Amino acid sequence: MFTDDSPELVAARTALSARLDIAALLRVASSKRNGIPCSLSPDKKYGLVHAVYCVVFADGVKWAAKISLGLEEQLDLAHYSIEDDEAEVALLRFFEDALPHLPVPRIFAFDAEGADFGARYILMTWFDGAHVEWRKEDVPLEARRKIADQLASFLVDLFFGTTAPPHDTWVAPPASAAPTSATTLLIEHINYRIMRRCRGRGPGGLDLRDYLILRSLARTAVPAEFERGPFPIHHDDVHPWNVFWDEEYNLVGVIDWSGHRTGLRVSFPIFAFAAQPRFVESDRPYFLERLKFHEERRLLDHSPAAFSSRSLADLAAHATKELPILYAGWTNPNVFQKVLEDAGGRNSSHALQLANEELREVLGLFPHIADTHEVTEARRIIEEGLIDA
C-alpha cells in the first residue's frame, strides 16, 4: 500500500505538475464564472489518486480543482477510478437538486477525458475550515456535543434524503445505482473488499478465504423485509480529514464522495454505530441519543414500515449482536470472526468448501486477480484444508 511519501506518489505528483497546463485550468475556471479572473492559491492537498488545487477568484470565491494523478494502473484501479469520479459528480449534482441544504461540494465543471488541460478533473466548492479531532482534551465537552449533534443530523438527513427504489439510475454509473436486491448489494460490497484484499489493502487479521466464506453466507443473510430496498447512500469514508468545521464548531462541509456506496436501509444504524467512535468516542451515548432524536424527527414524515416497531438508533445499539453478517461485510474484523465461528469456523470442511465454490465464481468475474499472492495463498489453504478433512 502506498504511503504519503512513497516514490510512486512523489513521482506522480511531480509528473502532474510538469504536464498540467495551469493557464488552461484557470481559463476553464474563469469561463464558468463569466470571465472573472482567477489564480492558484499556494494551498494544495493530496489524496491517494488525486491532487486538489485551490482556485481563487478576484472576488474572493474559492473553488477546488480535484485532479487525477494518473495512478490507476499502478494501483490496479483502472476499472474503478474514472467511474468513481463520474459517480461522485452525479451524486453531488443530485444533492444540489434534491438536498440543497446538505453541506457538500457543488460541481461547476467535470472532464473525464482530461482534454482541457492534461488531466481528468472536477471543479467544485472549496471549503475553508479546520479538521477537528475532538477526542482530544482541548475540545470542550460542549463543543464535542455540538459536533455530535450536527453529525447525527447530517447522517440522518443523508439516509432519509437519498432513498431510491430498485433500478433507479439517479446516480451514475450503474455500479453505484440502486441494486436489484439487498443481497446483490451485500455481495457487491464483499466483492469490493475482495478486490482491496487482492491489492494488499484492508483490515488485518482477515484473509481472502474469510471474505469468500462471508460471500457465500451473505446469500441468505438479508431479512426478507429489507431485500427490495429502498437503498440510501452512505458516505464510505467519514473521518475527521473529510469533514470541515469553523472556529465555532459549525459544520462547514463534507468532502470525498468518490467512495460513496449505495447501502442497505438496515445498515444505516450499523454504519452510524461503526463510524461514530472515530468522531465522538468519549461521547458515544450522547451521539446515539442525538441520532435517535433526529431520526424520530424525520420518521414523522417517512415512517418506513420495516421500522414501525423499533427505531434505527435502537437497532444501532444492538447491531453487532443481532445483525452481525450485515455489519461484518465492511466494518469490524472482530465481528467478522464471530460470523465465521457461527458458521462452524473458518477451517471447517464446510466453510472451506463454501470458499472454494465462491473462489471459482469470483475468478470468473475478476480474472485479473488470478495470479495475485492472495489468490494463490487462498487456494493453498483451501486445498490443504479439504485434503486434511
Q: Looking at residue 4, what is its pLDDT?
A: 58
Q: Residue 371: its pLDDT value, please?
A: 92
Range of weakest confidence among 28-32, 185-189, 322-326, 383-387: 322-326
Burial-class residue 161 by CB neighbours within 10 Å (0-12, 13-18, 19+): middle
* pTM for this predicted structure: 0.74
C-alpha cell at 49: 489518486
CA distance 5 to 330: 28
Helix (H) or strand (E) holding 45: strand 38-46
| Whether pLDDT at 329 is above 60 | no
User: How large is the average pLDDT for residues 173-194?
Assistant: 70
pLDDT in tens, 263-314: 666 565 555 555 554 555 566 677 777 777 776 666 555 444 444 334 555 5
Q: Given a cut of 80, is residue 153 above it in pLDDT?
A: yes
φ/ψ of residue 124, rounded to 5 = -150, 180
pLDDT category at 321 given cuts 50, 70, 90 is low
Residue 33 has pLDDT above 60, yes or no: yes
Amino acid (one-letter) located at 170: W
pLDDT > 60? residue 100: yes
